[in-house]
Amino acid sequence: MATTQKGLRAQEVSLQTPEASGVAVEFGRDLCGSLEVAEHREWLVTNGIGGFASGTVSGNLTRRYHGLLVAALKPPVGRTQMVAKLEETVRFDGKDYLLATNRWASGAVEAKGYLHIESFRLEGTTPVWRFAVGGALLEKRIWMRQGENTTFVLYTLLRSCGSIDMEIRALVNYRDFHAATHAGDWQMKVEPHGAGVRILAFDGATPFYLLSAEAKFEPHHEWHRDCFLPLESYRGLDDHEDHLFAAAANVKLGVGESVTCVLTTQAATELEGARARAEQAEHEKKLLAMWTGCDAKAASAAPGWVKQLVLGADQFVVKRSLPDEPDGRSIIAGYHWFGDWGRDTMIALPGIALTTGRSEIARKILLAFARYVDGGMLPNDFPDAGGQPEYNTVDAGLWFFEAVRQYYAATKDSATLGKLFPYWKE
């Protein structure tokens, strides 16, 4: 049973225009309807602890790094692909419409859901698709909860002359995000759990969950083999892998009704899509407010794409807990594959943290990295699997001093300088 939004017309909900919503990135049918173009437009959302979700506008996975839940099990590293994708089939007016897009190692492209995409846009950092299926218009949006390995996928029927039936199939995995899976006879444990299913890939693995307050996931166990990854082929790497069809949910939606799928490592988390969406919107509102407060005149004159950069900058800021600094921060050197590197962090710090009005984040980053100073050197790499940092760059320490100079110029924070100095005086 889906949650109905109050105040909606019987046949259609209000469709917000790009101008009204401040959208900086939007594509129409001309781009979305071309697989060769749409699969080279990628989206990314992050959770502030190193985890992310990422894919293409077309819906097919082209990299081993794509997935709906790539969880950071040792924040901000230990990144593990758990949920690869959701595949949707809409039944409307006696017809089935497959919304997923897949390339296979055989060369086949099936299904061809990209042909149903009417538009794609970024709303803040949230990717939003609209699928036209017959006379119905279905919206899909994806975001992550800050501080959790939790991804939300929200579907809303915006327009229709009647209700639709939708089947949602979850394809999952459990692997290091640099790897690829060739499953063989691998048997995961998929069992009912509360509002969905619990998946345990093997003994000792971190369990994860497929949940929904409106649609009940039922366990399955069927491997989809030889999914083709064209960009891995281009890189000369292993270019195909297997994903487990682990669960399916069926739901009926009327106009204005929604269903939210929650993909998470949390046994108990927020399931209400509207509340989770409002929480993410508030987070982005605060980011823009801090930027505006830094230089209100410049912010008011900035074009929309600058605001998009401010929000994008936040996606690279991650929490890095230390024994005596549990709220430490760092900066990911680049998605999809990098961790937080000392040299890159110091180069990026002024633009990501100071220009955006987040001097407190800059302070936490400087203090966090200062604790790792060794012989005047700053670590350049924290291994993905944890362990000792690597000191393999000659100029990271110099970039650190430049970042401190810019931090002090922006804040006049002498107290933090006093905390940093002891790490370098020797």
Which CATH number do you get for residue 160?
2.70.98
- pLDDT (tens digit, 9 = 90+) per residue, 134-171? 999 999 999 999 999 999 999 999 999 999 999 999 99
12 domain residue, yes or no = yes
Q: C-alpha 147: how far from its chain's center? A: 12
- pLDDT (tens digit, 9 = 90+) per residue, 309-354? 999 999 999 998 877 778 889 999 999 999 889 999 999 999 999 9
Number of domains within the chain: 2
Crossing angle of helices 414-424 and 359-370, rounded to 10°: 20
Same domain, yes or no: 265 and 346: no
- Answer whether 423's CB lies under 8 Å from 373's CB: yes
- Answer whether 287's CB lies under 8 Å from 310's CB: yes
Using CA atoms, how far residue 126 sits from 28, 40, 121, 292, in Å, is: 17, 18, 8, 21
Coil, helix or strand at residue 264: strand
Using CA atoms, how far residue 310 sits from 85, 113, 291, 397, in Å, is: 28, 32, 7, 26
Residue 12, judged by CB atoms within 10 A of its CB (0-12, 13-18, 19+), counts as: middle
Crossing angle of helices 273-294 and 304-314, rounded to 10°: 110
- Answer whether 272's CB lies under 8 Å from 258's CB: no
325 domain residue, yes or no = yes
Beta-carbon count within 10 A of 84 CB: 26
Same domain, yes or no: 214 and 356: no
Same domain, yes or no: 212 and 321: no
Q: Which domain holds residue 332?
A: 316-424
Same domain, yes or no: 76 and 215: yes
Same domain, yes or no: 251 and 335: no
Same domain, yes or no: 181 and 56: yes
Same domain, yes or no: 122 and 263: yes
Same domain, yes or no: 266 and 321: no
Q: Which residues pair with 200 in a beta bridge?
A: 189
286 domain residue, yes or no = no
What pTM was computed for the model?
0.92
Domain closes at, from 270, 293, 327: 270
Whole-number pLDDT of residue 308: 95
- DSSP letter for 206, please: P
Residue 11 has pLDDT above 50, yes or no: no
Same domain, yes or no: 120 and 207: yes
297 domain residue, yes or no = no
Percentage with pLDDT > 90 across the chain? 81
- DSSP letter for 237, please: S
Residues 6 or more apart whose CB falls under 8 angstroms from that of 415 comprise none
Same domain, yes or no: 338 and 218: no
Residues 6 or more apart whose CB falls under 8 angstroms from that of 86 comprise 68, 153, 168, 169, 170, 171, 261
Domain closes at, from 270, 302, 328: 270
Same domain, yes or no: 40 and 159: yes
In the structure, how many helices (H) and strands (E) does the chain have? 11, 22
57 domain residue, yes or no = yes
225 domain residue, yes or no = yes
Same domain, yes or no: 95 and 229: yes
Helix ranges, 40-173 (H)? none
295 domain residue, yes or no = no
